[in-house]
């Protein structure tokens, strides 16, 4: 008898209503052989059914759709919107890619055709169909705005805003509040002093080649506030440019952005030379006009272009011809 069996065998006393009666309970254990693995609890045994060979069914592949398309079909019904290229739908023998020893790969199984965007939904008949559908929601084009010049004359200011669309819980975008205002400087009623002051105030926001003034506002949290702020900046610039301060009288020729022929000794030298041997005063120089003087206009243009654009072969030759026309007018005419 093992020690485990001896420990499990014991006598207990059971309390009965009539008294105490000794009861002997025998307990024993039986050793179960194990192979070192956990036993699997199988509550419902299943009968073993051998599996046979799997039956394969052949899938019937339909011919490409492009082979059964009629010639006079409406292509906008086949390709109504933007989508990835599908070779079975497009009835064109397209090729894309490069092979060193063979021709370019065809459209079937060609990943290169799927990478690039296509415009098969923007064919001329499809665009015409869309325009005719949207025409009922449009108004007639205003009369008197047939050209771009007419539009710029009647609507000189352009406002640019951007809307963004996101597939997210919020549709807000911080860049949507940015407002860009463009206007040509020539549309303002500015004299020489006001124009020069305006250019100094705006700095690099003015493009001299296109005469375009661009103001970008993004300080305020909403688009409406940024638009109002941009209009306020334009108004303040206009009134400040037309204001003349006392300290502006100290501006000299070295402070000018461009060379002005009328304010320089070059004009005095030209007037003195043309009126020689008469004496010329400062008042005569200021009152002298070269509107009807072709030689004087060419000389003024040559000197101004030379000093503003710098010295090169073109400006030097032009200045040379203008000086010869002033000094030797008879030789130039002959």
Residues 200 and 264 occupy one common structural domain: no
Domain-ending residue, one of 138, 169, 184:
138
289 CB contacts (<8 Å, ≥6 apart)?
Answer: none
pLDDT the model gives residue 170 = 78
Does residue 326 belong to any structural domain of this protein?
yes
Residues 237 and 268 occupy one common structural domain: no
Instruction: Report the distance separating Cα 214 and Cα 183, nearest Å.
Output: 7
Instruction: Report the distance separating Cα 83 and Cα 122, nearest Å.
Output: 12
Residue 266, burial from CB neighbour count under 10 angstroms (0-12, 13-18, 19+) = middle
pLDDT the model gives residue 33 = 55
Residues 94 and 156 occupy one common structural domain: no
Does residue 319 belong to any structural domain of this protein?
yes
List the domain range (segments joined by +) for residue 196: 148-250
pLDDT the model gives residue 90 = 92
Does residue 60 belong to any structural domain of this protein?
no
How far from 105 is each of 86, 101, 190, CA to CA, in Å?
Answer: 15, 11, 65
pLDDT the model gives residue 88 = 92
pLDDT the model gives residue 15 = 47
Does residue 59 belong to any structural domain of this protein?
no
For residue 143, give both structure tokens.
Answer: 């009369």
- The CATH number of whichever domain residue 194 belongs to comes to 3.30.160.20
Instruction: Report the distance separating Cα 112 and Cα 84, nearest Å.
Output: 11
Residues 234 and 177 occupy one common structural domain: yes
Residues 273 and 206 occupy one common structural domain: no
Q: Identify the sign of the CA torsion 167, 168, 170, 174.
A: negative
Cα-Cα end-to-end distance for the chain? 149
Residues 244 and 166 occupy one common structural domain: yes
Write out pLDDT tens, residues 200-231: 899 999 998 999 999 999 999 999 999 999 99
How far from 243 is each of 70, 194, 236, 254, 270, CA to CA, in Å?
Answer: 74, 8, 11, 22, 34
How many domains does the structure of the chain reveal? Answer: 3
Does residue 162 belong to any structural domain of this protein?
yes
Does residue 16 belong to any structural domain of this protein?
no
Instruction: Report the distance separating Cα 69 and Cα 90, nearest Å.
Output: 10
Candidates 118, 111, 58, 55; CA nearest to 90 is 118
Does residue 63 belong to any structural domain of this protein?
no
Neighbouring CB atoms inside 10 A of 65's CB total: 14
Does residue 19 belong to any structural domain of this protein?
no
Q: Do the Cβ atoms of 215 and 204 come closer than 8 Å?
A: no
Instruction: Report the distance separating Cα 243 and Cα 131, nearest Å.
Output: 51
One pLDDT digit (tens) per residue for the chain, 334 residues = 554 444 444 444 444 455 555 555 444 445 555 566 777 777 877 777 777 777 778 888 889 988 899 988 999 999 999 999 999 999 999 999 988 888 999 999 899 999 988 999 999 999 999 999 999 999 988 998 989 889 988 999 999 999 998 877 877 888 999 999 999 999 998 988 899 889 989 999 999 899 999 999 999 999 999 999 999 999 999 999 999 888 887 777 777 777 777 777 777 777 777 777 777 776 777 777 777 777 878 888 888 888 888 888 888 888 888 888 888 776 554 4
Residues 171 and 265 occupy one common structural domain: no
pLDDT the model gives residue 281 = 75
Q: What is the reported pTM?
A: 0.53
**CA R_g for the chain:** 47
Residue 12, helix vs strand vs coil: strand
For residue 86, give both structure tokens.
Answer: 């599908």
Domain-ending residue, one of 89, 112, 138:
138
pLDDT the model gives residue 239 = 94
Residues 326 and 268 occupy one common structural domain: yes
Domain-ending residue, one of 216, 232, 250:
250
Instruction: Report the distance separating Cα 252 and Cα 245, nearest Å.
Output: 15
For residue 233, report the phi and psi dihedrals to the nearest 5 degrees.
Answer: -65, -40
Q: Do the Cβ atoms of 177 and 223 come closer than 8 Å?
A: yes
């Amino acid at each position: 008898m093992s020690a485990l069996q001896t420990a499990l065998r014991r006598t207990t006393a059971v309390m009965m209503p009539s008294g105490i009666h000794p009861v002997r309970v025998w307990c024993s254990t039986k050793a179960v052989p194990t192979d070192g693995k956990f036993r699997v609890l199988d509550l419902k045994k299943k009968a073993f059914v051998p599996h046979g060979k799997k039956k394969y069914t052949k899938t019937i592949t339909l011919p490409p759709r492009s082979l059964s398309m009629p010639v006079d079909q409406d292509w906008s019904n086949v390709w109504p919107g933007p989508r990835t290229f599908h070779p079975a739908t497009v009835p064109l023998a397209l090729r894309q890619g490069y092979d060193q020893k063979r021709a370019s790969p065809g459209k079937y199984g060609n990943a290169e055709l799927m990478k690039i965007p296509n415009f098969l939904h923007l064919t001329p008949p499809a665009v015409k169909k869309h325009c005719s559908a949207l025409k009922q929601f449009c108004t007639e084009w205003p009369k008197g705005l047939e050209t771009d010049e007419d539009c710029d004359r009647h609507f000189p200011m352009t406002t640019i805003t951007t809307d963004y669309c996101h597939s997210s819980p919020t549709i807000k975008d911080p860049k949507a509040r940015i407002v860009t205002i463009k206007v040509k400087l020539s549309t303002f009623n500015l004299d020489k002093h006001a124009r020069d002051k305006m250019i100094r105030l705006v700095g690099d926001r003015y493009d001299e080649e296109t005469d375009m003034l661009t103001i970008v506002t993004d300080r305020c949290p909403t688009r409406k506030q940024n638009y109002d702020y941009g209009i306020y900046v334009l108004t303040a610039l206009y009134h400040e440019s037309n204001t003349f301060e006392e300290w502006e009288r100290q501006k000299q020729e070295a402070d000018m952005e461009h060379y002005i022929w009328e304010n320089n000794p070059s004009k005095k030298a030209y007037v003195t030379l043309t009126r020689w041997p008469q004496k010329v005063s400062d008042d005569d120089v200021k009152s002298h006009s070269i509107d009807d003087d072709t030689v004087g206009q060419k000389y003024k243009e040559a000197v101004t272009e030379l000093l503003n654009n710098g010295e090169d072969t073109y400006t030097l030759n032009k200045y040379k011809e203008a000086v010869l026309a002033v000094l030797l007018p008879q030789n130039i005419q002959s």
